[in-house]
Structure 1
Amino acid sequence: MKRIQLSKLFTDFFHSEKTGGIVLIVCTVLSILIANSTFGETYLHFWHQSIGFNVGSIDMHHPVEYWVNDGLMAIFFLMIGLEIERELYAGELSNVRNALLPVIAAMGGMLTPALFHFLWNHGTTEQAGIGIPMATDIAFALGILSLLGNRVPASLKIFLAALAIIDDLGAIIVIAVFYTEGFSLAYFGSAMGIFTLLIIFNRLRINYLIVYLIPGVFMWYFMLKSGVHATISGILLAFAIPFGDGSEKSISYKLQHFLHKPVAFFILPVFALANTGIVFEPGWQKGFGTKNTLGIMSGLILGKPIGIFLFCYAAVKTKICRLPSELSWKHITGAGMLAGIGFTMSIFITLLAFNDATTIVNAKIAVLSASVIAGAAGFLYLKAITPGLPDSSRPRG
């Protein structure tokens, strides 16, 4: 059986996410430890202190945490957008038959967890958290999978990466549609006007990155003021930048390759440090009994693997798509478990969904707990079904 070979860019991406996942774990643990130490108050105050500048009548003073979540994360979404674009034009998603399975898997992995949360929280104020268990953290999921080395097929790595990327796209749509406050048509129209201009530049084959990045900053500002979350501008900018032939000479490739390390080793770690400084007050365990926590944890731990498996099984049995030759249903189950690692996107949606501090803390604890359980379960399960496998091939079965 011919083994699937991983492209150079995918391999670079996979190893970047692998190491980035380890860094995220370290930063998360460090943030929690500091927040609960004698330096906790100073640490939390740092993220809440205001910094910025004035440009004429425009006041751009915001808390450090705000700059991280609305500024730096826009760059993270830019890279995600470039990865989605690459997959659509030249990757696994460029072939409809290959793309269908992870697309359908992602649908199951978003709708089923959302249903779990809805069943627990419908009619309550916590219903706004329905989007929290829908997300999959690419860095953590691929990081855990990488610990298995060549025990798992290359096609499973591609399947999980494509699934997580589509999952992120779904989460982005959810953010844009459901987590918009104080919508301003004027500012939104200005942002979309810039996006249209960038698309025209694209069609005119203007291949100077600076021509896209400078207007992209203004698009970010107008999107920020529009009420639609500013990070959406990162996705729009990614699709405006010319993909070209996808070679190493294209500006899309160069920017994506350049962003891998800053995102993996600076932006996401800073996001983790800024948003996981959870103070465990006396009685914090009671938060596990809330319906919102139960909805988040059941959605990530149970909803993800159940939804991914059932949607994939139905699609294959109805011959809508086929299971890659290297993969078995056990692999799909294991990938579904790892997809239950929410972390970055889940915490991000938590911050958009709620304003109450206690609810946010409980939701973060739920996301972290569920992600640990899902990651450990997925790792142990995949390790158990591929004992002592010396290479990346695995018979179907």
Structure 2
Amino acid sequence: MNRVVRIIHSDSAGGICLLITAILGVIAANSPFAHQYFELLEFHIGPMPLLEWVNDALMAIFFLFVGIEIKREMICGELNTNAKRFLPVIAACAGVLTPAAVYYLIAGHDPAFVHGWGIPTATDIAFAIGVMTMLGDKVPSAMKAFLSALAVIDDLIAIIVIAIFYGGGVSFQFLLYAAIVTAVLVYLNKNGYVRPVPYAVLGFVLWYCVLKSGIHATIAGVILAMTLPATGVHQGKEVTPMADWDHALDKWVTFLIIPLFAFFNTGVSFGDFTVQDLFHPVVFGVIFGLLIGKQLGIFTTVYALVKAGAIKMPNNTKWIHVYGTSLVCGIGFTMSLFVAALAFDPGIVQERAKVGIFIGSILSGVIGYAVLELAHKFRHKHDKLELSN
């Protein structure tokens, strides 16, 4: 029993759970029960099908969790000073723009495919951190901190991209309502309200207003996160509401929301898939965006900044560590699947995009792991030679 508890609390558990449910989604879509699986996705609960409840409602809670992580890092973590923010911000921006450009060069010639440029721009925090965790102390701690900060900034950029480019027709009436609710949340924060109920109720109202506004509803989660107080006083005692929300959401997000999202969004049917489909512009664009675009953007940015003297090389780090970490950032998965569902309507093109995400993410993770493992072996041999001499 203690072993199970340790596994659940381990850093890699979320990535493992996500991987298992993603595989189950693919199996379900290609099994004798495929018809029932796709019917389940369209099963209506109230005004929306189950898939929309997962993608619009449950993922809003996921984005609330991500927003809390971003705010925490900016207050007391790897992004709490301008000096710390500089490298991951610049690298993350390059790691978004380059994959988008790679995708555009491959698939942008067709107006039906061009909207998918945002798919390879995201890094999946759970999987990327999971790869680093599996490597343990073989990876310099500076690279782990760099990856964590970069992934947080990457998520923030992805949120902005979703809000601006992947919404529907905008309703200014509901945007005004959302702005009023946000103002009330800010008022509560500024005046020291720390109890969770007002924030939860207003958060739900905000989600509904954003959903109806045409901007993607998940953005409400981020807005709510930014208005949660980090510290406060309740009945004469100092409290930490933001940390309490983070702790309360952690296991729900890791072991329910993200696995459900993966199960419902990875259901790609390979019945009609052929070898020729691997050369589809969307498949190629996503694969090369994740595998080539990410590493190219991040590695060249770090290299240029170090060589220009703008930053110092991270402690105990070689260029092979930077390169391996840049490769690991090509694991898109959760965010990429989410953007794919917004970029393309259900059908062949969306399924091709998902295939590209699977292949690009797997290659990035496996090659990145191998490069970092190799870097450790070379370093270990080098240290032994120095000792023997």
Q: What TM-score do you get using the length of structure 2 for normalisation?
A: 0.91
2:112 is equivalent to residue 118 of structure 1 = no
Shift in Å at residue 122 of structure 1? 2.5
Aligned to 2:28: 34
Q: Is the 8 A contact 1:152 1:386 kept in 2?
A: yes
Aligned to 2:184: 197
Shift in Å at residue 112 of structure 1? 0.6
Mean Cα deviation higher: 196-205 or 231-240: 196-205
Out of 96, 116, 122, the residue aligned to residue 135 of structure 1 is 122
Shift in Å at residue 248 of structure 1? 9.3
The 5 Å alignment of 1:19-98 reads: 19-52=13-46, 61-98=47-84
**Aligned mates of 1:263, 1:283 — CA distance in 2:** 33
Q: Is the 8 A contact 1:75 1:234 kept in 2?
A: yes
1:32-79 per-residue CA deviation (whole Å, 9 max, x = no partner) reads 112211111112211211012xxxxxxxx2111100000000000001
Specify the code of the residue in structure 2 equivalent to 1:291: P
Aligned to 1:6: none
Shift in Å at residue 323 of structure 1? 2.5
Specify the code of the residue in structure 2 equivalent to 1:42: Q
Out of 95, 101, 106, the residue aligned to residue 109 of structure 1 is 95
Shift in Å at residue 168 of structure 1? 0.6
Aligned to 1:257: 247
Specify the code of the residue in structure 2 equivalent to 1:70: D
Aligned to 1:235: 222
**Aligned mates of 1:290, 1:227 — CA distance in 2:** 31
1:349-390 per-residue CA deviation (whole Å, 9 max, x = no partner) reads 001111150000010011011111110000111001012989
Spell out structure 1 runs of 4+ moving beyond 3 A.
14-17
**Aligned mates of 2:48, 2:306 — CA distance in 1:** 50
Q: Is the 8 A contact 2:51 2:264 kept in 1?
A: yes
Q: Go from structure 1 to structure 2 and tell me whether the alpha carbon gap of 1:16 and 1:194 turns closer, same or farther (over 3 Å shift).
A: farther
**Aligned mates of 2:335, 2:358 — CA distance in 1:** 12
Shift in Å at residue 277 of structure 1? 1.2
Q: What TM-score do you get using the length of structure 1 for normalisation?
A: 0.89
Q: Is the 8 A contact 1:248 1:254 kept in 2?
A: no
Aligned to 1:288: 278
**Aligned mates of 1:265, 1:389 — CA distance in 2:** 37
Q: Is the 8 A contact 1:133 1:342 kept in 2?
A: yes
**Aligned mates of 2:17, 2:378 — CA distance in 1:** 27
Out of 283, 289, 307, the residue aligned to residue 317 of structure 1 is 307
Aligned to 2:387: none
User: Any idea what SS the aligned residue of 2:377 has?
Assistant: coil
Specify the code of the residue in structure 2 equivalent to 1:66: E
**Aligned mates of 1:210, 1:17 — CA distance in 2:** 30
Q: Is the 8 A contact 1:101 1:323 kept in 2?
A: no
Specify the code of the residue in structure 1 equivalent to 2:141: A
User: Any idea what SS the aligned residue of 2:230 has?
Assistant: coil
Specify the code of the residue in structure 1 equivalent to 2:75: Y
Q: Is the 8 A contact 2:11 2:133 kept in 1?
A: no
User: Any idea what SS the aligned residue of 1:280 has?
Assistant: coil
Shift in Å at residue 329 of structure 1? 1.8
Specify the code of the residue in structure 2 equivalent to 1:255: W
1:239-272 per-residue CA deviation (whole Å, 9 max, x = no partner) reads 0101128x99300011112211111111000000
Shift in Å at residue 285 of structure 1? 3.2
**Aligned mates of 2:99, 2:183 — CA distance in 1:** 35
User: Any idea what SS the aligned residue of 1:94 has?
Assistant: coil
Aligned to 2:3: none
Specify the code of the residue in structure 2 equivalent to 1:175: I
2:341 is equivalent to residue 347 of structure 1 = no
1:133-173 per-residue CA deviation (whole Å, 9 max, x = no partner) reads 00000001111111112211222211111111110111110
Specify the code of the residue in structure 2 equivalent to 1:128: H
Specify the code of the residue in structure 2 equivalent to 1:25: L
Out of 271, 278, 287, the residue aligned to residue 261 of structure 2 is 271
Out of 346, 356, 361, the residue aligned to residue 351 of structure 2 is 361
User: Any idea what SS the aligned residue of 1:386 has?
Assistant: helix
- What RMSD over aligned residues (CA atoms) do the two structures have, in Å? 2.1
Identity, % of aligned pairs?
A: 40
Shift in Å at residue 317 of structure 1? 2.4
Q: Is the 8 A contact 2:11 2:130 kept in 1?
A: yes
User: Any idea what SS the aligned residue of 2:12 has?
Assistant: helix
Q: Is the 8 A contact 2:229 2:242 kept in 1?
A: yes
1:182-214 per-residue CA deviation (whole Å, 9 max, x = no partner) reads 110001111111011101111111111111111
Structure 2 unaligned regions, length at least 5: 1-5, 384-389
Shift in Å at residue 328 of structure 1? 2.2
Q: Is the 8 A contact 1:338 1:374 kept in 2?
A: yes
Q: Is the 8 A contact 2:229 2:241 kept in 1?
A: yes
Specify the code of the residue in structure 2 equivalent to 1:37: S
**Aligned mates of 1:248, 1:179 — CA distance in 2:** 41
Q: Is the 8 A contact 1:220 1:233 kept in 2?
A: yes
Specify the code of the residue in structure 2 equivalent to 1:259: L
**Aligned mates of 1:192, 1:322 — CA distance in 2:** 42
Q: Go from structure 1 to structure 2 and tell me whether the alpha carbon gap of 1:373 and 1:147 turns closer, same or farther (over 3 Å shift).
A: same
